[in-house]
Amino acid sequence: MKIDEINLSIIKHLRDGRKSFKKIADDLSLSENTVRPRVNKLTDDGVLEVTGLVDAEAVTDHRVVIV
């Protein structure tokens, strides 16, 4: 898959947390119907993986172990 400037811009928007396709499209002056399939293609091709991070200190009664 070719990573063009639009794909890079979309990835940068997703770096700061999950944003809606509409918000990303508005910020980049694109249509939501342009952003959605690009994110899906990046994900399907293994270029992009959306994950969540947990603040371990915010979860009570649990411990963090680094091995």
What is the mean pLDDT of each successive set of 10 residues along the chain, which is 67 residues long?
A: 92 88 96 96 93 81 77
Q: What is the pLDDT of residue 52?
A: 80
What counts of helices (H) and strands (E) characterise the chain?
3, 0
Altogether, the residues listed in the chain come to a count of 67
Q: What is the pLDDT of residue 10?
A: 95
**How far does CA 6 lie from the centroid of its chain?**
14
What global pTM score does this model have? Answer: 0.76
Closest among 12, 11, 18, 19 to 42, alpha carbons compared: 11
